[in-house]
């Protein structure tokens, strides 16, 4: 968590600005090469970092996860970590982001189309954008909770790597939207929930335990998930990392999701079935408050 520099309206151009491969460009004019492997093959990873009150939230663990994803797919950093942090801050400053998020995408680079990885490392592509999100959007979700549906988990086997290969997630999320829900909880071949299309999944079981799936190749190691687990442990809340079924979720006292852009949001309905009393539960609210305090969220 690092404070960003003060904005200077005299220096910051109007309109959204995106950083692409060494240049700060007006968002509508930003582009990549037609043979960028991220565009053609999904050969890229990404990170999304929350910005709250002009501060990057959970910055270090996001960059740690980004570097791990790069190692797992044998890709090099586009620049040093310190230089990347300077670019991130400049993108946030130029876009005057007070509450919102920053998006980072690293592609393997540009080469003639070939499925195999290049014999020698390419110069990676780097895209960074940012935008404001009104606090009222999050406040409404915190107050009323959100709905979810379940869908088969049809993603590739290395879900622990934060790649841009998100077509199954996009289709599941579209199904959720068409069903009047926000999120889709993905279900493996054995009937256990892995995670949401865009967020980690949690329940509060009949005994009052907070339950989320243990880390493996099946789920993304969410940064907000990590901080929530730390905050819950410090508060001595009972947390169990294990698999849980759709039936358990439907009969849970509470359910919620965590992600960098949604903190901890109550899930009040799954597949048309009300969870608990149909409102965000007290433990969900407490976990949000514990996370907000630990992460340093502002005015939420």
The residues annotated as belonging to the active site are: 162
Between 59-72 and 81-94, two packed helices, what is the crossing angle to 10 degrees? Answer: 120
- DSSP state at residue 29: G
Q: Strand 100-107 relative to strand 44-52: parallel, antiparallel, unpaired?
A: antiparallel
How many residues are listed for the chain in this entry?
300
Q: Count Cβ atoms within 10 A of the Cβ of residue 119 and give its class: 0-12 exposed, 13-18 middle, 19 or more buried.
A: exposed
Alpha carbons 251 and 268: distance in angstroms, whole number: 12
Largest interatomic CA distance in the chain: 58
Q: What are the strands, taking DSSP E only, across 188-277? A: 193-196, 200-204, 210-212, 239-241, 254-259, 263-270, 273-274
Q: How far apart are CA 80 and CA 104, in angstroms?
A: 14
- Give, for 287, the enclosing helix (H) or strand (E): helix 282-295
């Amino acid at each position: 968590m690092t404070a960003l520099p003060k904005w200077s309206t005299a220096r910051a151009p109007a309109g959204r600005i995106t950083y692409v491969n060494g240049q700060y460009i007006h968002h509508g004019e930003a582009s990549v090469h037609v043979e960028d492997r991220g565009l053609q093959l999904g050969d890229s990873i990404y990170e999304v970092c929350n910005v709250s009150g002009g501060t990057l939230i959970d910055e270090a663990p996001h960059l740690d996860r980004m570097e791990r994803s790069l190692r797992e797919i044998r890709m090099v950093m586009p620049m040093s970590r310190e230089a990347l942090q300077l670019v991130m801050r400049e993108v946030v400053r130029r876009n005057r982001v007070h509450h919102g998020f920053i998006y980072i995408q690293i592609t393997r680079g540009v080469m003639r189309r070939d499925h195999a990885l290049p014999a020698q490392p390419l110069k990676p592509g780097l895209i960074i954008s940012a935008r404001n999100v009104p606090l009222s959007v999050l406040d409404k979700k915190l107050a009323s909770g959100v709905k979810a549906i379940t869908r088969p988990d049809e993603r590739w086997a290395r879900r622990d790597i934060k790649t841009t290969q998100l077509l199954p997630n996009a289709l599941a999320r579209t199904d959720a939207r068409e069903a009047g829900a926000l999120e889709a909880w993905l279900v493996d071949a054995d009937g256990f929930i892995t995670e949401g299309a865009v967020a980690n999944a949690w329940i509060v079981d009949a005994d009052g335990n907070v339950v989320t799936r243990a880390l493996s190749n099946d789920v993304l190691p969410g940064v907000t998930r990590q901080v929530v687990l730390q905050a819950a442990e410090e508060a001595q809340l009972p947390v169990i990392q294990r698999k849980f079924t759709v039936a358990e979720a439907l009969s849970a006292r509470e359910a919620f999701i965590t992600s960098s852009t949604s903190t901890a949001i109550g899930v009040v309905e799954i597949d048309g079935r009300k969870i608990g009393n149909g409102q965000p539960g007290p433990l969900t609210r407490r976990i949000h408050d514990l996370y907000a305090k630990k992460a340093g969220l502002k005015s939420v």
